[in-house]
Homo-oligomer: A and B are copies of this chain.
């Protein structure tokens, strides 16, 4: 099949044609990879049988070799014939081994022992080998940016309105902190995925025929895959382990989307405090050649919109009747896309944020626009602290007057005789802030440093 015969945009565009994303995730998330993981479970099973003396080590070696040779093509062809994917897989392994080895392939297991264990193993590996390292890369980029810009004055905005001063680095430190926590959550959820070798209804019915300690046997097989068993499996592992991983990814994706939105808005023509770097031949718009569109930030937001609602499917898949109905079979196959889209977005964000253009001139220009008004807050607070009976209302009226007359608020304040007795009590530092709103940044720079230090250590960056 030609790549452009695909209908899924990850396959034909964001994953299939992005060498970095493809090379990193293909070992886990292609259908080929899934079949390879299932073969690895089958191979681990026979290995443990050999360890326990149920079959010879030679047989385990033989099965291991056979498992490595199984191809997706042949398994799918066999499935076309017999309409059962795991029986097809087992048939293809058995075909490749000696008569003696055949009985020890798929020994005592049910299909979902293989599928569920393979799925957990590949999700775990992809999480620890790709998702976490990629996200740490982005975290590192954000830490560098936050540290570099920790003293860069920026007007803080609430409701889209100028509020109180922060620094640009402090704004980025928000994401260092949120993403740092998110990485820990993802890692923990990935490490906590579980497998099962507990048979068709989870009671170890078949394995009990051969082993006195079927739960120990399960542990040994899963250990080969780097997994532990769930607390109580039916035909399937409890869905909450995987759900928690998906939640941790979707929650982290929301943080990315928030960052993307912040940057998109800071790139607006009227604000223009940041910009995506443009490549030499890049075309901004097919008809408006002067435009510099935040296409990468838009893409990240868009991917989040495409993926976030899909967690609803995973919540729906929590429900499986009795020892299992199969109504999660097709739906669960779409889960890796959520992770792939997240990785692609993390990677894109890392590229853009690493080359983010921060426009100091516009930062200053925007800050100055309302610099005078900014002191309204400290003013009212200080007045109140020094016993002014109606500080908030008094200041509000002064700001209205300032807007009406065009006179600077500072001027009005120091001209206002009714305030004199209060202003006299202000400390020098407090008066300083009133006279220079740029100093009114609280502990923005210090906290930025602290957060960057903390996450650098925590994530060993």
Contact = CB atoms under 8 A, between A and B. Distances in A.
Interface stretch (A61-69, A128-136, A276-284, A353-361): A276-284
Interface string A326-364: 111111011011001000000000000000000000000
Contacts of A250: 315
Given A293-B159, A377-B287, A308 B298 contact: no
Considering residues A205, A312, A399, which has the most beta carbons from chain B within 10 angstroms of its beta carbon?
A: A205
A57 to B, nearest CB: 18
Interface string A311-334: 111011111111111111111011
A164 interface: yes
A25 interface: yes
Nearest to A167: B203
Nearest to A265: B321
Contacts of A316: 305, 309
A453 to B, nearest CB: 12
A53 interface: no
B258 A318 contact: yes
Interface in A4-24: 4-17, 22
B323 A158 contact: yes
Copies of this chain held together in the complex: 4
Considering residues A111, A173, A247, A299, which has the most beta carbons from chain B within 10 angstroms of its beta carbon?
A: A247
Contacts of A110: 285-287
A313 B306 contact: yes
B103 A384 contact: yes
Interface in A221-241: 230-232, 234-235, 238-240
A31 B15 contact: no
Contacts of A302: 326-331
B444 A83 contact: no
B8 A10 contact: yes
Given A205-B378, A270-B369, A298-B326, 12 more contacts: A17-B76, A156-B201, A160-B267, A171-B323, A177-B232, A178-B232, A254-B319, A258-B319, A270-B270, A289-B376, A309-B312, A310-B310
Closest 9 CB pairs of A and B: A156-B201, A254-B318, A8-B8, A289-B396, A309-B312, A177-B232, A203-B442, A84-B283, A159-B293
